[in-house]
Structure 1
């Protein structure tokens, strides 16, 4: 079923992981998707595979000028914007005393500041059209204190607060705002997990695939317009947090 036929979506961090799975699911549902990522080569490869409904947009969201010009870049390629999936993010795990200070800055900028700035950039366009969907990739770490994620977890707690504030701000404008909060997903972000934690999670079946997160996103996007799914927590059944 092409439940999103005629819709135009934008996904950040779209060249891999949850962003790629979200893109694939939206295209399968009939949407045209602008894939935003800084990895030009990966974007080109993905868009060639996905076909005409996939449109690449190379942007380094950590560059303030490129970040500020995001909507301009989108509207240079498509007529309007129906769905914005703020997915780009990064990860730091382990003990805080071992964390690199520059890596902390980069992660908080990408996971918090960039998401807030991106929503600030696209929201007026959606408000003007009187409709739209904003989905933020958060994490179960934004709902539960994860002791081995003292930087990542606070960044996702910030997103829990931000999404709920924006849902209330935009609820009368026709724009829905929600977040999807996965448990551990098999992706490149887990490369920084302590090896012992990752091994135990794999052995216990406590990991999920990006597609399973994308399925939840499609569910959120295809509800009747009088229904907002404010947050979906997607956990592997064996995950004990």
Structure 2
């Protein structure tokens, strides 16, 4: 890949695995410096030791409000600027609502909704001051379809879909692009809560997406000329099309 993002600084949350790790790899390959944000200290250290100086680890538990608030100032101290925020960190609660653990519901809504809003809120003053920036949120097909087997998770993504649509309209005048990627099921740790039979059927039918494919779509969005916004991309395996 051409070094289309040379000189840019990207921040990726949930960077130690899954889509976040694939996103990090794609951004580094395009020439960006990447601040990898995750709570998994050991995983970040291992990843960054393999990726060189352009990969900068930042250990934060985003569910800790005080720690979450340090993200933007710490990135600016470490890297000097923020050109790209990939708000990717999230968790999953599936199954029948009546069976869900309410503490897990609180945690998921906090991470999938509140943390995303706070991270975007905290980087916007810097981007507005520079009159440029890109924000991409990892959403889900569940943001666009009332998925019956995941009412809690789907609700969090519907909320974030609204957030992306409204914030985009507030900040485009500052040269800031806001978009989302909404994949169907991605092979990642988030599928650990899927019923075993459903997961097996999805694998056998070719109805899962690789994290690298999501990263490729994100890179397409980021590398359009300024003034062109790819607002939202819904992507899924053909066999999964509803």
Asked if Structure 1 and Structure 2 have the same fold, meaning a TM-score greater than 0.5 normalized by the shorter chain, the answer is yes
| Structure 1 unaligned residues grouped into runs of 5+ | none
- 2:178 and 2:44 mapped to 1: Cα distance? 26
Q: Does 1:138 align with 2:139?
A: yes
What is the aligned partner in structure 2 of residue 229 from structure 1? 230
Q: Secondary structure at the match of 2:182?
A: strand
Q: Does 1:217 align with 2:218?
A: yes
Q: How many residues align?
A: 241
Q: Root-mean-square deviation (CA), in Å?
A: 0.6
Q: Does 1:15 align with 2:16?
A: yes
- 2:235 and 2:226 mapped to 1: Cα distance? 22
- 1:182 and 1:240 mapped to 2: Cα distance? 11
- 2:177 and 2:168 mapped to 1: Cα distance? 6
Q: Secondary structure at the match of 1:80?
A: coil
Deviation at 1:240, TM superposition (A): 2.8
| Structure 2 unaligned residues grouped into runs of 5+ | none
1:35-184 paired onto structure 2 within 5 Å: 35-184=36-185
TM-score, scaled relative to structure 2: 0.99
TM-score, scaled relative to structure 1: 0.99
Q: Does 1:25 align with 2:26?
A: yes
Range moving further from structure 2, 116-125 or 68-77: 68-77
- 1:94 and 1:51 mapped to 2: Cα distance? 41
Deviation at 1:91, TM superposition (A): 0.3
Deviation at 1:197, TM superposition (A): 1.2
Q: Secondary structure at the match of 1:135?
A: strand
- 1:240 and 1:177 mapped to 2: Cα distance? 26
Q: Secondary structure at the match of 2:91?
A: coil
Deviation at 1:226, TM superposition (A): 0.9
- After superposing on structure 2, the runs of 4+ consecutive aligned residues of structure 1 that deviate more than 6 Å are none
Deviation at 1:195, TM superposition (A): 1.3
